[in-house]
Structure 1
Amino acid sequence: MNAVVIDQVQVRIIDPNHKAKPGAQFPRPLTWWQRYVPIWLDASEDDRGRIVLTPNGRIADGRVQELTPTLIRRDVQLALRWLDNQIHLDFTDALVRTDQLW
């Protein structure tokens, strides 16, 4: 597994009392994802319009480390944990499994 693929149509808002502003529902544009994800992830869009989060090796102090397969797996696991910690959003059904990536 070298990336996290998200089908935005399947993202759910957990809190039923949470009222999303108009235009704040999913799917959201790629530019939103590029601003929202942590610095150590790159957000791109695949041919089906799904969001692909890939580790990029950036560190908060400005350095960039070379990504080994071990570091890629670690960063993908951290990305899954980061998605799980989004308190108002449920990504459970939105995560896509593909043979190339998982």
Structure 2
Amino acid sequence: MGRHKMNAVILDQVKVRIDPALKIKPGAEFPRSLAWWQRYVPIWLDATEGDRGCIVLTPNGRSADGRVQEVTPAIARRDVRRALAWLDKQIHLDFTNALVSTDQLW
């Protein structure tokens, strides 16, 4: 993975694991719809669907206070690192094996 190309987080949502202690309603397992991902991710990330149903999270420059900034390569790298930290902090979802790439979109 080249640092200069780190502009997205790509997840194979079939590999997302839900905490086994939770009782999951039928139909709430992964993969989930793109609309669900778009509601779930923080405001500073866009969720789109990539190849083979993977979910692509890309920084968009938006902030909660309404500001929008240009996503420079440095900001993209920072926000990809923030996205990885956000994924890691999800209490009942394990994205460890679902992470396909943080490289350039494919």
Report SS of the residue matched to 1:62. coil
Once superposed, which parts of structure 1, at least 4 consecutive aligned residues long, lie more than 4 Å away?
Answer: none
1:10 and 2:15 correspond? yes
Letter in 2 for 1:22: P
Aligned-residue offset at 1:98? 7.0
| Post-superposition CA distance 1:10-53 (Å, at most 9, x none) | 00113x22111111100000000000000000000012110000
Give the Cα–Cα distance (whole angstroms) in 2 for the partners of residues 22 and 4 of structure 1.
27
Question: Could you tell me the percent identity over the aligned residues?
Answer: 76
Report SS of the residue matched to 1:82. helix
Q: Unpaired segments of 5 or more residues in structure 2? A: 1-5
Structure 2 vs 1, CA of residues 71 and 54 (structure 1 numbering), >3 Å: closer, same or farther? Answer: same
Higher helix share: 2
Letter in 1 for 2:58: T
Query: How high is the TM-score relative to the length of structure 2?
Result: 0.89
Q: Unpaired segments of 5 or more residues in structure 1? A: none
Query: How high is the TM-score relative to the length of structure 1?
Result: 0.92
Q: Is the 8 A contact 2:8 2:103 kept in 1?
A: no
1:61 and 2:65 correspond? yes
Report SS of the residue matched to 2:28. coil
